[in-house]
Amino acid sequence: MTDRTGSLLLLRHGQSVSNAADVFTGWSDVALSGLGEAQAGGAAVVLRSLGIRPTCVHTSLLRRSIATAELLTGALGCSWVPVHRSWRLNERHYGALTGRDKREVAAGTDAAVYRAWHRSFAVAPPPMSAAAAAELYADPRYAGLPAAAQPRTESLADVRARLLPYWSDVLFPQLLAGGTPLVVGHGNTLRALVMYLEDIGPADVEHLDIPTAVPMRYHLDHRGRPATGPGGRYLDPVAAAEPVRIGALAT
């Protein structure tokens, strides 16, 4: 008997049009760029070359995550696998920064404050206005979301708090059953999950970045901790030629 569970696959969505424009996106629903669509196909090539197929797919409610997953599973020939979508996998809510150009925000903000808004664990940006929040949550996809779960801004700590129930109630049971779930998420939701899996501290997580559309794989034990080595691994062959630990020292 082995202590190892199934494999956990993580993938940050392909480049979005907002990524390309370098604006804070958060819960705004933007499309993939042409490059992002190509990146989704490239991730499928990597998985196919290694003989890896997900047994189910998890996305946020945002179309850049959904489109990446659909393009990837279509290219893999496994569009039939079960798909689960949850607001708990949405990107971090950037509050009043949503839709704003990052360079303009940085130019008009104290450097330490900007970095805290952008990269810290505990500091949230200024909240979105009540009117903007009301417009956002009038979207039918959030019709069943309780008011208490409708953020107007979030820190990474807030993202982790809303993500972990999905990990413990949905993802981890699938791993324990021997499955290979694929999470097509966002930069900050994946940072929060990797932080938990690798027990990364709040100071070190500021230096953790998750590259766009590079598949990652974790082998976890029955406690949900990395079973082999210090953590997860990128599956891209080029990235594999470099130090590939997804953890506190990644940049």
What confidence score (pLDDT) does residue 230 get? 67
Contact 24, 94 (CB under 8 A): yes
What confidence score (pLDDT) does residue 176 get? 95
Q: Is the pLDDT of residue 247 over 60?
A: no
Q: How confident is the model at residue 6 (pLDDT cuts 50, 70, 90)?
A: confident
Active site positions, annotated: 13, 91
Q: State what percent of residues in the chain have pLDDT above 90.
A: 85
Instruction: Render pLDDT for 62-71 as a digit per residue (tens, 0 to 9).
Output: 999 999 999 9
Q: Is the pLDDT of residue 246 over 70?
A: no
Alpha helices (runs of H) in 22-110, residue ranges in sequence order:
34-49, 63-76, 102-107
What confidence score (pLDDT) does residue 240 get? 34
What confidence score (pLDDT) does residue 242 get? 43
* pTM exceeding 0.75: yes
Q: State what percent of residues in the chain have pLDDT above 70.
A: 92
- Residues 132 and 129: their CA atoms lie apart, in Å, by 5
- Residues 1 and 62: their CA atoms lie apart, in Å, by 40
What confidence score (pLDDT) does residue 248 get? 32
**Which residue in the block uniquely carries the two structure tokens 């409708």?**
150
Q: How confident is the model at residue 195 (pLDDT cuts 50, 70, 90)?
A: very high
Domains of the chain, start order: 4-94+163-246 (3.40.50.1240)
